[in-house]
Chains A and B, each alone.
Chain A
Amino acid sequence: HSVLTQPPSVSGAPGQRVTISCTGSSSNIGAGYDVHWYQQLPGTAPKLLMYSNNNRPSGVPDRFSGSKSGTSASLAITGLQAEDEADYYCQSFDTRLSARVFGGGTKVTVL
């Protein structure tokens, strides 16, 4: 059971837009802590995809965007490509646990 809740899977056809939600509570996202996103391609280590809600590290395509509101955040992928097929994790900080926490992960499938 993860502190942050993500849908287990989302899918879309090439070129479509998909969104991944990340729902927290008043002790993490709702407390004002930033949300970060990681992409994990099959068989590899996670890689930073978005930091501080809506900032893309160098090299991440602008097809990826992030937002945060209240106790939730979301990651959007526009112009979905085959190479985007991966697991995506949101992450924040929880004051009650005094720990960095992750969502359970969302598997993105390109149809």
Chain B
Amino acid sequence: VQLEESGGGVVQPGRSLRLSCAASGFTFSSYSVHWVRQAPGKGLEWVALISYDGSKKYYADSVKGRFTISRDNSKSTLYLEMNSLRIEDTAVYYCVRAPTTGHSSSWEWFGPWGQGTLVTVSS
């Protein structure tokens, strides 16, 4: 199982950025996938979840209305479109697969993690 995030960088407040996560080593289209972030020196925060078929999407209150999670199963790739970025969005963003196939249950834990991509929001 491999998850490789990309697209991070330095961006000004109010601007947009799109992250990607390329998956390999498993049947991407069978698994729900999350984004989880970690501010520098801080703890973990769940950001968003998309179901295996893209039919269901869930967001943390802190990003609702600003971030959009999506996926392209033909390319085995997950995306996170981030708009109206704020300084507090500065973090390493991890792509995380659900542990089992199908729709992700609220009881479930986080499965394999990517290595993350750093997003820095600064003027």
Contacts and interface: CB of A to CB of B under 8 A. Distances in A.
Interface of A: 2, 33-34, 36, 38, 44-48, 51-52, 89, 91, 93, 97-105
Given A45-B94, A93-B106, A99 B113 contact: no
Contacts, number: 55
A32 to B, nearest CB: 9
Interface residues of B, number: 20
Contacts of A46: 44, 94, 110, 113
A48 B43 contact: no
Chain B contact residues, majority secondary structure:
loop
A38 B110 contact: yes
Nearest to B95: A45
A33 B44 contact: no
Contact of B113 (A47, A104, A105): A47
A30 B38 CA distance: 26
Interface of B: 34, 43-46, 49, 58, 60-61, 94, 99, 106-107, 109-111, 113-116
A98 B64 CA distance: 13
Contacts of A101: 46
B61 A99 contact: yes
A46 to B, nearest CB: 6
B108 to A, nearest CB: 8
B94 A100 contact: no
A27 B116 CA distance: 30
Contacts of B61: 97, 99
Which one of B44, B45, B99 has the highest number of Cβ atoms from chain A below 10 Å of its Cβ?
B44
